[in-house]
Structure 1
Amino acid sequence: MRHVPGPAFLVIPFKQLWFVARAGRLRVGDAAPGFELPTYDKKSRIQLASFRGHKPVVLIFGSYT
């Protein structure tokens, strides 16, 4: 198995982002709401804001209804 460079996390902050989107406060072009997640090995936590200006981040908001 190859090493994944940098922090990797597999948990999606679904609940937090779902409620922000459903409240009508999230618009096209807005910055993503800040959130923090555990890394895949659960040894540390990482914040979305730590990537700002350093690495590209893709957030996918799909419909699960």
Structure 2
Amino acid sequence: MDTTAVQTPATKKPHRRLWRWVGVSASVCFLCWVGLVSYVNWAMHQSPEVFGGVMAKMPMPAFFVLPFETLWGRARAGRLNPGDASPDFTVRELQGAEAPVELAALWKDRPVALVFGSYT
């Protein structure tokens, strides 16, 4: 008879399984974070209505883990440099005139100063 001891395969040490679980969990969390950042970045490049709808449903803790200031600065950065002509656009008059006003039609005769702001 053979009396040699039978060796069983070495079992994994518990701490190795724990570190593997931590690594997988961290990777999943990181991928979810990247997906959320990508979604918010996409929303910031959309119309104000779409962006407002996304932000209305955003949970408060997201403001602590997402780089909003960086994303907002890149999404809303202008493409004009000092000295460039402003792009033409059409707006309705505040008094409700039927005909829209074009910026190009205004600056044919005189300089135009555009003031954007809130008077509330």
* TM-score (normalised: structure 2): 0.29
Which has more radius of gyration?
A: 2
Kindly indicate whether structure 1 or structure 2 has the higher relative contact order, using CA contacts under 8 Å at least 6 residues apart: 1
More strand by share: 1
More helix by share: 2
* TM-score (normalised: structure 1): 0.49
